[in-house]
A and B are shown apart, each in its own frame.
Chain A
Amino acid sequence: MGDSSASYIHMVHHLIEECIVFNMGKEECMEALSKHANIKPVITSTVWNELEKENKEFFEAYTKKRRGEKVREMETRHEIQGVIADSSNSNTSADH
């Protein structure tokens, strides 16, 4: 029992780390692992939580970083929408 469970858990741990490399959040990770590796989301979530307990600092920093990126991404998106709106306004008469 112990052995296969342990190696399975280790595998999930490894996969979660890969997800983190991809900058995923917990939910995204659960979805990805379920989709790509057939791992029950509850297992992913449990291992994630435990990892978080064992590596508090890392996860704190990681969460913070993601939050910051999210904000930046939203801002960028708004900017782009603005650009597009501007362009379309000024290009109404252009033909191509």
Chain B
Amino acid sequence: MQAVSPLAKTTPTKDESQEQMDNSFSTGGNGDFPDLLESIDFGNLFVGINDGDVLPDLDMDPEILADFSVSGSGEESEMNTSVSNGKVEDNTEKNEEDKVLGSGSGLDSSLSTRGEEIVSKGDESVVVNPVSKESDNGRKSAQAKNNQGKRKVKVAWTSELHRRFIQAVEQLRVEKAVPSRILELMGIDCLTRHNIASHLQKYRSHRKHLLAREAEAATWSHRRQMYRAAGGGGGKADMTPRHAPTMGFPPITPLHHQHFRPLHVWGHRPMEQPLMHMWPRHLAHSPSPPPPPTWPTSPPYPSYWHHHNQQRVPNGLIPGTPCFPQPLAPARVVPGIPPHALYKVDPGIAVPTRQSGPHPLFDFHPESIDAAVGDVLSKPWLPLPLGLKPPSLDSVLGELHRQGVAKIPPTCA
């Protein structure tokens, strides 16, 4: 209960809650707590608590006062400890209240409940749940924001916080990362299970996008590999590939402005269109082009905190990826993986000579990479997708100096 007053002093919300509390006591409880009203002078009660006279035994008092008035991060660990103690000493607290008020058990229970409620409301930052007692780890910036007494406090997911979150998630991955366990692993008091849960949800959806993006990139590169292989083997358009799974990927068509020809034309240009070789026969027989006139593009997947970076989907990207089926032009940007229909290749595409020999395993879809890079460059505050431990700045700079790189960022690549 004591916590209310210092909170009341620092922020308006605290005042509100205190007022509400007072009101509820004075107005709502007339019938129930006549004794209460008479025996408790609320103004004095809290004043007394402020002075430390009324409940001298509670350690948290002065520290909470100090912390709340400062509302900085330095003393928060202290605060945590002390409040944790406070939480532990809940029973003691209630007893103290009893002594102070000297009223019946009815009062006691209501007060205690209220007190707890207030404590939990007001001290969400400090005492979130029993688990939080475990650690007094370094405070994050999130804590400074938490002294508001609201149920839901916005957490600032700093890089460090996010990194630890990811570590915890990775660790728990097999056992299904559950918010409560993640919270335990992270050991950060200022986070509620709710914070973790919502962050986890975002993280999962982000991962899905990343993986989809990667899968898309992998798909492209895979198919490209296959086409090269197919081209190497020669053959006609009528081949039925046996490896359905890999070839069955609905290719996500990159943007391109070239027209496409009906499938049945494919047969005439075996060597120039390695793509066709891989497609099932029946496709070659389809009389009319199935795909819609405007093909949805492969969008750059939304980055974690941002949606719809469609602007970044470039138009002329394709020249670098000649093996891709050339869809119809208009870049209609659609979030999510577009339902693809196409197995069309423009015979006019100049397929470059196959790159045999060592080339990267995955020829990444340049659009996806561009999108990802653009995201990072334009929004440096985005969290790291993997949350790896950052390299030591000194050793990086030192090493770069040794290599003769003086300026960072360099003026030219």
Binding site for B on A (CB under 8 A): 2, 4-11, 13-15, 17-25, 27-28, 31-34, 36-40, 42-43, 46-47, 49-51, 53-55, 58, 66, 69-70, 73, 76-77, 79-81, 83-85, 87-88, 91, 94, 96
Contacts and interface: CB of A to CB of B under 8 A. Distances in A.
Contact of B408 (A4, A21, A25, A27): A4
A13 B384 contact: yes
Interface centre among A17, A66, A69, A79 (most CB of B within 10 A): A17
Contact of B226 (A5, A15, A77, A87): A77
Contact of A22 (B230, B235, B237, B362): B362
A75 B388 CA distance: 32
Contacts of B213: 21-22
A25 B376 contact: no
Contacts of B373: 15, 18, 32-33, 36-37
A54 B241 contact: no
Between B240, B369, B399, B412, the greatest number of chain A beta carbons within 10 A of the residue's beta carbon is seen for B369
B389 A54 contact: yes
Given A11-B377, A47-B391, A25 B397 contact: no
Given A46-B400, A88-B236, A21 B210 contact: yes
Contacts of B267: 96
Interface string B378-399: 0010101110111111011101
Interface in B258-279: 267, 277-278
B388 A8 contact: no
B225 to A, nearest CB: 6
B197 interface: no
Given A5-B408, A77-B229, A53 B380 contact: no
A14 B386 CA distance: 9
B388 A13 contact: yes
B263 to A, nearest CB: 11
A2 B396 CA distance: 12
A19 B409 CA distance: 20
B253 to A, nearest CB: 19
B210 to A, nearest CB: 5
Interface string B172-209: 00000000000000000000000000000000000000
Interface in B145-168: none
Contact of B393 (A5, A18, A28, A38): A5
Interface residues of B, number: 63
A23 to B, nearest CB: 6
Contact of B397 (A5, A19, A39, A49): A5
Contact of B409 (A4, A66, A85): A4
Contacts of B370: 36
Interface string B124-152: 00000000000000000000000000000
Contacts of A21: 210, 213-214, 372, 385-386
A85 B231 CA distance: 11
Interface string B302-342: 00000000000000000000000000000000000000000
A43 B410 CA distance: 9
A23 B235 contact: no
Nearest to B413: A38
B362 A23 contact: yes
B226 A80 contact: yes
A46 B238 CA distance: 49
29 contacts: A5-B393, A8-B408, A14-B376, A15-B373, A17-B384, A17-B386, A18-B372, A22-B217, A22-B364, A24-B362, A38-B413, A40-B405, A42-B400, A42-B405, A46-B399, A49-B399, A51-B388, A51-B391, A54-B389, A66-B361, A81-B229, A81-B230, A84-B230, A87-B240, A88-B233, A88-B235, A88-B236, A91-B236, A91-B239
Nearest to B380: A11
Contacts of B390: 9-10, 13, 51, 54
A83 B284 CA distance: 18
B262 to A, nearest CB: 13
